[in-house]
Amino acid sequence: MNDLTGKVALVTGAASGIGRAIATAYAKAGARVAVADIDHQRADEAAAEIHGHAIGIAMDVTDEAQVESGFARTERELGAVDILVSNAGVQIISPLVELSFADWKRMLAIHMDGAFLTSRAAMRQMIASGRGGSIILMGSAHSHVASKFKAPYVAAKHGLLGLARVIAKEGAASGIRSNVICPGFVRTPLVEKQIPEQARELGMSEDEVIRNVMLRDTVDGEFTTLEDIADAALFLAGFGSNALTGQSLVVTHGWHMQ
Ligand code: NAD
């Protein structure tokens, strides 16, 4: 099931962190991979470092024209997309009453508009190819729970569950499955940046943020790893039927048991 030979995957936000780990795992499993990121230089570097067939794609997921041209280039150079991982994301830590409308809109644009635009482009290629495929949206434990100071992130990550369910229903007839991966805290640049920010907002030490906020509700006080999420993404990419669609897979060391 983990053999992706002959498949084409496009992963957004793949120049760093979770996206990069997934792109690397997909290439290792035999897929041809488009490493898409707003930071095109780092996307090219990441693609060059992946052992296997990978290309870097410049793509701001909030920009319709860039999404469309990135998918068109992927189809020209690698073939029609079989697997999409809509993963690009950022975090802003702020009390809701201090959050600017501009920051709210930017967060929803990256997480929600990005998921919509890339899913639509992927679905069109999957329907036209007649092969269907797997659409994976990168949610979070925050697709199911809320935390202080993360209003737009929590709202957007909850919203992805709804989007995946609609894609599952509309895509089923064409063999398109859609699921959400919900990671716990993984030590990527996105998380390293928010440890001191949360410490400031909560009046705690950074150690206390890790132990008493980030990992408090896990079963073992452990961070989730890049490999854990890459394994989950490999499983969902390779799963071969509509039996597993419209679901969310919570990969969090037991934080939020469904
Ligand atoms: P990261 O900062 O390491 O990587 C994010 C990547 O997204 C970067 O390469 C960045 O350039 C890219 N990006 C940002 N805005 C973009 C845009 N508009 N268009 C295209 N690319 C853009 O972060 P990460 O921790 O690997 O996060 C990846 C995803 O995983 C995010 O959706 C995040 O919400 C989710 N997630 C992360 C964690 C965690 O603990 N790290 C937990 C749950 C969910």
Q: Which residues contact 184 (CB under 8 A, 6 or more apart)?
A: 141, 215, 218, 223, 224, 251, 252, 253, 255
Question: Which residues line the pocket of ligand 1, CB cutoff 6 A?
Answer: 12-13, 15-19, 37-39, 59-62, 87-90, 110, 138, 140, 183, 185-186, 188-191
- Catalytic residue, from 26, 149, 153, 185: name it: 153
Angle at 109 between CA 11 and CA 104, to 5 degrees: 135
Give the pLDDT score at 88. Answer: 98
3-state secondary structure 59-118: CCCCCHHHHHHHHHHHHHHCCCCCEEEECCCCCCCCCHHHCCHHHHHHHHHHHHHHHHHH
Nearest CA to ligand 1 atom 3: 17
Specify whether the CB–CB gap between 143 and 248 falls below 8 A: yes
In the residue annotation, 153 being an active-site residue is answered as yes
Query: Can you identify the CATH homologous superfamily of domain 8-184+225-251?
Result: NAD(P)-binding Rossmann-like Domain (3.40.50.720)
Angle at 158 between CA 189 and CA 4, to 5 degrees: 65
Give the pLDDT score at 93. Answer: 93
Q: How far is the CA of 17 from the centre of ligand 1 (A)?
A: 7
80 phi/psi in degrees, rounded to 5: -65, 145
Give the pLDDT score at 1. Answer: 65
Q: How far is the CA of 14 from the centre of ligand 1 (A)?
A: 8
Q: Which two tokens stand for residue 49?
A: 């470092």
Q: How far is the CA of 15 from the centre of ligand 1 (A)?
A: 9
Tell me the domain boundaries of the chain: 8-184+225-251, 187-223
pTM of the model: 0.98
Closest atom of ligand 1 relative to the 90 alpha carbon: 14
Q: Which two tokens stand for residue 203?
A: 């009046």
Q: Which two tokens stand for residue 233?
A: 């993404």
Give Cα 123 distance to the centre of its chain.
Answer: 17
Q: Which residues in the chain show pLDDT less than 70?
A: 1
Q: How far apart are CA 141 and CA 163, in angstroms?
A: 16
Give the pLDDT score at 258. Answer: 83
Closest atom of ligand 1 relative to the 193 alpha carbon: 2
Give the pLDDT score at 57. Answer: 98
Q: How far is the CA of 63 from the centre of ligand 1 (A)?
A: 17
